[in-house]
Structure 1
Amino acid sequence: MRSGIAVGGVAALVSNFFLGQGVWTPWQMLAWGACGAAGAAAAPLLRRRVVLAAFCFVLGMGFSSFMDVWNWLAFYDQHTWQTFVAVQARGLPFDLAHAIGNVVIAFVAGPELRRLLERYGRRLKAEVVWA
């Protein structure tokens, strides 16, 4: 699970070197790390493409909703239920686009990506043998 958090957090940081760093970067690192932890925890259940795609959809919506909450906290003076619902509703088309993009990637490259991450996980494990 720690490697899932690390991969998620580092991926957000590295991608923002190309896409632009900002005050949102730590929040993205936190959300991507949470997605990585959730993926690591659910890894045994994600062997089939349909299950993986559904899981990716849920994580995509969760990530985007989390970032909408950050947007609401950072840029709105009034923290009321009305502004919260308005921010969530305003972001819904983008959130759905992210989640659907995750589903497409899961169907196209899911098993290969899973194998790559499993290989990465195996390479992270180190065994110390005391002589």
Structure 2
Amino acid sequence: MQTESVKYWTLKRILGYVLILILMPVTLMVSWHFGDRKYYLCSLILIVYSIIPFLLSYEKRKPQARELVTIAVMCAIAVASRAAFIMLPHFKPMLGIIMITGMAFGAEAGFLTGALGAFVSNFIFGQGPWTPWQMFAYGIGGLLAGLLARKGIMTEKKRIRTAVIGFLIILCIVGPLLDTCSVFTMVTNFTRASVGAIYMSGLPVNIVHGVATALTLLILCKPMMEKLERIRIKYGMMGEEDEI
């Protein structure tokens, strides 16, 4: 019975990865093919995709209301952190908060927080064809932080290492994903030069974004993780068996 339970949970995890890593990019490409005005529909579809892996991450039970409230609060903090620095272009601590959520509550929770945070915060910064791409990119940042934390690579005890990894995730993964949105929305003649120019012009932006994320992790990771861990232990939330 235990073996069958492990196999069933593994299948659910695989389904979650399929939704995130395959179905979401396909949906982004289909949305781009049908034009800019489909971005609201695409965003709503991505939210549904984000919720499903989060629910599947619970092996033996349904998520409790307090767990959903905690994720909602972390999403609100992420949105507020982005809005608080609205006067500083590209310097947004939001990904740092998203990564902390993934580290504390698991990869799926990190992805869900990133996707929802991008969608909600764009009611302040402006919705557009870039919104679904931001949802996917920010979600990937939270997902990777959760996976690396589970392996003991990103931890609050190793703040400098965690901050450096957060910076590299932005520079090498999240940033290029956001630049890819610019490629599809701004480039009409796809040549190596035009595409390369988009990615090169995005490099300074990604560096600033990465620095903001690294500073957030360096300063807030330990105190926030300690508080979130106490909440998790006190209320029995999102135990180890529920995470990726």
Q: Give the TM-score taking structure 2 as reference length.
A: 0.47
Q: Distance in 2 between matches of 1:39 and 1:53?
A: 11
Instruction: Spell out the pairing of 1:33-44 with structure 2 (5 A cutoff).
Output: 33-43=139-149, 44=152
* Structure 1 residues 80-119: aligned runs within 5 Å: 80-115=191-226, 118=229
Identity, % of aligned positions: 26
Counterpart residue identity of residue 153, structure 2: L
> Which of these residues, 119, 129, 136, is aligned with residue 23 of structure 1?
129
Structure possessing the higher relative contact order (Cα contacts under 8 Å, 6 or more residues apart): 1
Runs (5+) with no aligned partner, structure 2: 1-106, 240-244
Residue 4 of structure 1 aligns to a residue whose secondary structure is helix
One-letter amino acid matched to 1:66: L
SS class of match (1:21): coil
Alpha-carbon shift at residue 116 of structure 1 (Å) = 5.1
Structure 1: tracts of 5 or more residues without a match: 127-131
Give distance in 1, aligned partners of 2:108 and 2:212. Answer: 26
Aligned pair 1:11/2:124, yes or no?
A: no
1:45 aligned partner, one-letter code: I
* Aligned match of 2:154: 46
Whole-Å Cα distance in 2 between the matches of residues 120 and 2 of structure 1? 18
- The alpha-carbon distance between structure 1 residues 40 and 78, as it changes in their structure 2 partners (threshold 3 A), is same
Q: Paired residue for 1:75? A: 186
Cα distance in 1 for residues equivalent to 2:227 and 2:182: 33
| Residue 55 (structure 1) aligned with residue 143 (structure 2) | no
1:66 aligns with: 177
Q: Helix, strand or coil: the match of 2:200?
A: helix
Query: Cα gap change, 1:72/1:34 in structure 2, threshold over 3 Å: closer, same or farther?
Result: same
Q: CA RMSD in A?
A: 2.1
The structure-2 alpha-carbon separation of the partners of 1:35 and 1:77, relative to structure 1 and needing over 3 Å to count, comes to: same
Would you say the 8 A contact 1:3–1:121 is kept in 2?
Answer: no
How far has the Cα of 1:113 moved from its partner?
3.3
Offset of residue 68 of structure 1: 0.8
| CA distance in structure 1 between the partners assigned to 2:223 and 2:199 by the alignment | 33
Where has structure 1 moved over 2 Å in runs of 4 or more?
Answer: 112-126
TM-score for both structures, normalised by structure 1: 0.84
Q: Which of structures 1 and 2 has the bigger CA Rg?
A: 2
Maintained 8 Å contact 1:5/1:32: yes
Q: CA deviation at 1:112?
A: 2.3
Distance (Å, rounded) in 1 between the aligned partners of 2:144 and 2:114:
10
